[in-house]
Amino acid sequence: MTAGRWPNLFLVGAAKAGTSSLYAHLARHPEVYMAPMKEPHYFSRIHPDPRLAPFFPYIDDEESYLRLFADATSERFLGEASTSYFWDETSAWAIKRASPEAKIIVMLREPVARAYSHYWNDVREGFERRSFRQAINEELEDGTRERGWGVSSLYVECGLYAEQVLRYVRAFPESVALLFFEDFVADTHGELTRVLAFLEIDTQAAFVEGGARNPFALPRGALSAKVIGSGRVRSIVRRVVPRTMRAYARSLLLVQTPKPPVDPDVAALLHEVFRPDVRALQALLDRKVPWPEYGEGD
């Protein structure tokens, strides 16, 4: 009986940096059980705006959270992948208290690309109607706004990595693995092997290599956009459609399409915003990051 076991593997983010792909790969490993709800957000205790709550499902009671892992059997690792844990200032130590021997995996992505992907995710979901330029300007200029996961856009904040990484390094000094999205895309098998070695589980286990998770897609038309952007429809779907069928149903409403190019002026602005943090990250890690547009630091 494993009901009541706390998870001991956490993919904590960053958002839009490849955690969905890693989650899917790990879920196929015989020594890993990944929660069927990818992002329960239990340790970050998110409180979405009521208007956006259907877009940010979460679990906030212990019994329901542990029930996510009740079907696990003899797997060495029980895991989940809530990207809010990386942004949230309290999650690292909350995880430490509940699961002190946990393994932590952090995935990072060049922060401008991450922000742009995050923005288009929100456009697709129907609750972002501003241009990317306007969204970034408002986030940078409005220091009085209410901030929060499911409350405000966090396109810049989620890409300020140095302090976020530091929190996990301090809480789990020997148990953090850091991956870069760019390396994962370039050599998925090699990066997966490195993750399995970090977990000290079978690195030869067969993986079914698939395409990218969450490829860029937009609603097929106005009706699809209205359905995707309806909180009421989402709430109904969660009650009546089995979890295993939701991704297929959603795919019928979307069409893969090339991502529009980022406004170069906004990209240049964001590079300057992120540059000090990227250099602080390199100093913390004592290594270069695979983002040459930021230079090598001083």
Q: What is the pLDDT of residues 86-119, one digit of tens each?
A: 999 999 999 999 999 999 999 999 999 999 999 9
Is 168:12 a contact under the CB 8 Å cutoff? yes
CA quadruple 179, 180, 183, 189: dihedral sign: positive
Mean pLDDT lowest among 1-10, 114-123, 137-146, 158-167: 1-10
Query: What per-residue confidence (pLDDT) applies to 145?
Result: 74
The CATH H-level superfamily of 9-213+264-294 is: P-loop containing nucleotide triphosphate hydrolases (3.40.50.300)
How far is the CA of 8 from the CAs of 31, 66, 122, 275, in angstroms? 12, 12, 30, 34
CA distance 1 to 258: 47
Is 53:150 a contact under the CB 8 Å cutoff? yes
- Give the residue among 174, 28, 193 at the shortest CA–CA distance from 102: 174
Query: What per-residue confidence (pLDDT) applies to 37?
Result: 94
CA quadruple 228, 232, 235, 238: dihedral sign: negative
127-140 pLDDT per residue, tens = 899 999 999 999 99
What does the DSSP assignment read for the chain? Answer: --TTPPP-EEEEE-TTSSHHHHHHHHHTSTTEEE-SSS---TTTT----TTTGGGS----SHHHHHHTTTT--S-SEEEE--THHHH-SSHHHHHHHH-TT-EEEEEE--HHHHHHHHHHHHHHHT---S-HHHHHHHHHH-TTS---TTTS--TTGGG-HHHHHHHHHHHSTTSEEEEEHHHHHH-HHHHHHHHHHHHTS-TT--------SS-SEEESSHHHHHHHT-HHHHHHHHHHS-HHHHHHHHHTTEEE-PPPPPPHHHHHHHHHHHHHHHHHHHHHHTS--S-GGG----
- For the entire predicted model, the pTM comes to 0.89
Band (pLDDT 50/70/90 cuts) for residue 180 is very high
| Residue extents of the structural domains in the chain | 9-213+264-294, 217-257
Q: What's the chain's average pLDDT?
A: 89
